[in-house]
A and B are shown apart, each in its own frame.
Chain A
């Protein structure tokens, strides 16, 4: 479960996120949407402990990420938008590196590697240096390592960038499966069709403030408009489509 209480993050004079209060229960896929620069990535970085909040707190699985970081981080699997990894390691070496950092026994690491590498079609490239991987392969590798310690909370920033249609389908299925198993999936994306397809609830952040959170139907009522998620998004964020 994720609980954000009055979360605020300011950089010198600019506040990227303001008084964000939100709760995402276990077993739910939550889509976190917003235009570029709305504060999505900053929120995620504060949630994962990569940034300190200016005010408020982020509680993950009952642990405050600032006060009990080790306990909270053991529960998190984070998939960032840019797959920056150690390019001079092979896929298998990188997998073991992360497994050792999370203190996963080697036997379990090997089993997980076999499962995820087969699932994402990385097995034949496992001994190649990551510098030779394509963007999509790196993204799939990140997904594999993020799930290797069986996290209860999965935080994803733009998961579909660089993925082929087959992998996109696998990833969407994975999110649903993990939620069914009781995990919390926090998904930030610009791919509105993906959000519409997999999310139980949607949160909309604009200029650092959460302007809506609820189901798609609740969003329609809130916006006083029928239509798909794209139309509602544009309506609520004040954007327009020019044909």
Chain B
């Protein structure tokens, strides 16, 4: 029997993956160990965190509200996940289904547009959903552990997640098809801004209409009724996050038939949206793809009033070669839709984080009763979270920078300048950008949390030092193991070197925060008084802090520069 085009294309993609694995067979065990390390760190750490939180909510002292609060809280988390999944599916479907270069080839073959769309839809759903799977796993596991659920909970939950991922994938594809059929797909940046703006506007309107502002104005958690009402709004029975939550709750209680009901609700909805996709694809996909190709020919390097025209002037003080590299990096980054979409998703997550932080700060007074030194822990948690986000940003955006020079590297190689200049240029550009971004976020979140002066100084210094440390790691490792064959920054960041970079960055972040938090927390708990803050007590922490930072700032860059200088192109 002849193979269908979908099977043939997936067969070819599977061979590409096999070849990729073959290609790295020399380090296969290191890859496996590193992958397991990352999963262990993220899933293990996340599970521990959520377990403490869920266990706290299910404890005797928190009843009779705790269990309901936990279920509503999970529903709210899944609502946030669902929104982000729809958004990321729109953005990723736009790039994989309309802009990807291999489409030029596929479109020239005798393949039905619907088949091609199915292939690309599957790819988009995989790309959009893997992060959700890693982020959601700790929540499912912690819920199971805290709720002492039967073993059947785990496989039933995994089954429940499948339609929950398909639904936003199909919904995102429908929205993308409609947008692309009537708006050029190359205008990703514009579309992203419109979508992001629309989401923020819709959220603001909903908050106002439903009176959330009143909830946010609470100063303590005495009025549980109000909080429950607030959380209940996010758990509306018409929303898929509610169906998922109900499925998980009943799986946890061992009520398989009730679970099955919610599973069918979720599955049938996902299949219905997929059917709509199937029906729309032959009518709209080809039209949208052609429009994206037509609009590509119109793409100009910004108009008279484009901000990019003004990038060069403030950099006049730099030597011409360095200035040329900086301007080139800024322009190519700004114009790359792949980078833009990632930034939008990242800022979406930051928005959710800041909003949650605000709530945590509002209830700080009340939570202090249950958890001593909550305010201080929250400040350090915020510092840790900012550094964690910075680690992810440096891995995703800074680590691939040298690899992305790739096929164009001959241009740099031929220029009459030290080739290490480009490494230094990327280092300073990245470190200063990281400092501005993380510094701004730190100042903003500290003002929300109303932290004291000492903590503000500590966090500012930490961000200053770590911006250079994390950048040194990313640029240095990027120079040691560049991947010149790959031109997709996300794939470079997900590769061997990128994984190594994220692990080292997280270890570095963990060490720095520990060396800062430990002496202060012990002091705050009264095990050490202020009078005992003499040199012998502080010196080991300060020394360890300095050693870790000096090594991280100096060593990767030094090794990277040596490797870069010796490298052949």
Contacts and interface: CB of A to CB of B under 8 A. Distances in A.
Interface in A22-60: 45, 48-52
A52 B300 CA distance: 39
Contacts of A49: 413-414
Contacts of A52: 568
Contacts of B217: none
A101 B296 contact: no
B417 A70 contact: yes
B283 to A, nearest CB: 28
B327 A128 contact: no
A128 B415 contact: no
B209 interface: no
B356 interface: no
B407 A129 contact: no
A90 interface: yes
A82 B407 contact: yes
A115 interface: no
Given A102-B416, A128-B299, A88 B332 contact: yes
Interface in B328-348: 328, 331-332, 335-336
A45 B414 CA distance: 10
B108 interface: no
Given A103-B321, A129-B335, A50 B414 contact: yes
Q: Which of B300, B323, B414 neighbours the largest number of chain A CB atoms within 10 Å of its CB? A: B414
Given A49-B413, A100-B320, A101-B417, A93 B407 contact: no
Contact of B301 (A48, A90, A97): A90
A93 B416 contact: no
B568 A50 contact: yes
Contact of B321 (A73, A82, A100, A128): A100
A100 B316 CA distance: 12
Interface residues of A, number: 35
A51 B414 CA distance: 11
Contacts of B299: 128-129, 131-132
B408 A85 contact: yes
A132 B328 contact: no
B384 to A, nearest CB: 35
B321 A101 contact: yes
A92 B296 CA distance: 18
B332 A100 contact: no
A91 to B, nearest CB: 9
A130 to B, nearest CB: 9
B331 A89 contact: yes
A177 interface: no
Given A89-B332, A93-B331, A78 B414 contact: yes
Nearest to A126: B301
A21 B37 CA distance: 53
Contact of A78 (B296, B410, B417, B569): B410
Main secondary structure of the interface of A (DSSP, over half): mixed
B569 A51 contact: yes
B102 to A, nearest CB: 16
A61 B68 CA distance: 81
Interface string A55-99: 000000000000001110110101010101110111011001110
Contacts of B410: 48, 50, 78, 80, 84
Given A100-B320, A102-B415, A84 B331 contact: no
Contacts of A90: 300-301
Given A129-B300, A132-B296, A89 B416 contact: no
Contact of A89 (B297, B328, B413, B568): B328
Contacts of A69: 416
A127 interface: yes
B454 interface: no
A129 B416 contact: no
A234 to B, nearest CB: 32
B328 A86 contact: yes
Contacts of B325: 101
Contacts of B296: 131-132
Contacts of B407: 82, 84
Interface in B399-428: 406-408, 410-418
A84 B413 CA distance: 13
B568 A132 contact: no
A82 B410 CA distance: 11
Given A84-B407, A86-B332, A97-B327, A132 B414 contact: no
B324 interface: yes
Interface in B277-320: 296-297, 299-301, 320
Given A51-B568, A78-B410, A100-B323, A73 B301 contact: no
Nearest to A76: B414
18 contacts: A48-B414, A69-B416, A70-B417, A70-B418, A76-B414, A86-B411, A89-B301, A89-B328, A89-B331, A89-B332, A90-B301, A101-B320, A101-B325, A101-B412, A128-B300, A129-B335, A131-B296, A132-B297
Interface of A: 45, 48-52, 69-71, 73-74, 76, 78, 80, 82, 84-86, 88-90, 92-93, 96-98, 100-103, 127-129, 131-132
Interface of B: 296-297, 299-301, 320-321, 323-325, 327-328, 331-332, 335-336, 406-408, 410-418, 568-569
Given A51-B568, A51-B569, A93-B301, 17 more contacts: A49-B414, A50-B569, A73-B414, A76-B414, A78-B414, A84-B407, A85-B408, A85-B411, A88-B336, A89-B328, A96-B324, A100-B323, A100-B324, A103-B321, A103-B416, A127-B301, A129-B301
